Structure 1
Amino acid sequence: MGPEMAELARTAGTTMVTLMATQAWESTREGVVALWRRFQPDRADTVGGELEATREDLLLARESGDADTEAELTAEWQARVRRLLLARPEVADELRRILAELRPELPEANSVVDVRLRAEVSGSGRVYQAGRDQHITER
């Protein structure tokens, strides 16, 4: 497997897991299951169930702040897609098409931004810092 196909598998796995926790979940699931149904029809129903189980695990991990589980789930789907690409290289074009359709659904939070905050407080002063949205409700 060349570097381009390996990168496609990484991108696909990451995109799939990221979109599991968004409004785009249903269309993501449908696209992925349709891909398997077309290229490995005997595995399509199993993949659909695995996607649902992964989503449940992901939502629980996010609820508890467990970033390790999210990373593991992403790696699992990257590996599944990589194996599909190894077995059926002709999947690549269809996978790229599905990813292009899903790209607008990706949350902006996935972009990498380097934020460095520094504050000094004295006395009974307070500092509120955020790299993005911040909501303060104290009175």
Structure 2
Amino acid sequence: ELSVPIVPLSEGIAVMPIVGQIDTHRSQLIMETALEKSAQLQLSYLIFDISGVLIVDTMVADNIFQIVKALQLIGTKTMITGIRPEIAQTVVDLGVDFGTIKTRATLEKGLEEIGFSKLSENPQRKKDKWRY
């Protein structure tokens, strides 16, 4: 639950799936990992998929902003995907403005946004292939 993996998808593009609770220690780990791996892998895009995060409070939202700002400084564009309806409502109720951060409802929509598309959309296939 505390791991923060970065999953490379293609040259310059990776996803960081975040699952579970985010506290101060974990947000620091996310920041360090995101910066280190983004520089090491020379990422143009890093997608944070938070579909596995159950609670977003003001601290978590602020930490997300700090991570995005730091990544911008090293030239990595970011996107947040997987914001569930209850998280969206909480963020709005808290008055947090995500207007400067690109968001998409699902990881699939986020990938489409940066140019990934399915090679096959045949529902009979168990595993669709993606291309970039």
One fold, TM greater than 0.5? no
Query: Which of the pair has more CA radius of gyration?
Result: 1
Between structures 1 and 2, the one with greater helix share:
1
Compute the TM-score of the two structures, normalised by the length of structure 2: 0.28
Between structures 1 and 2, the one with greater strand share:
2
Compute the TM-score of the two structures, normalised by the length of structure 1: 0.27
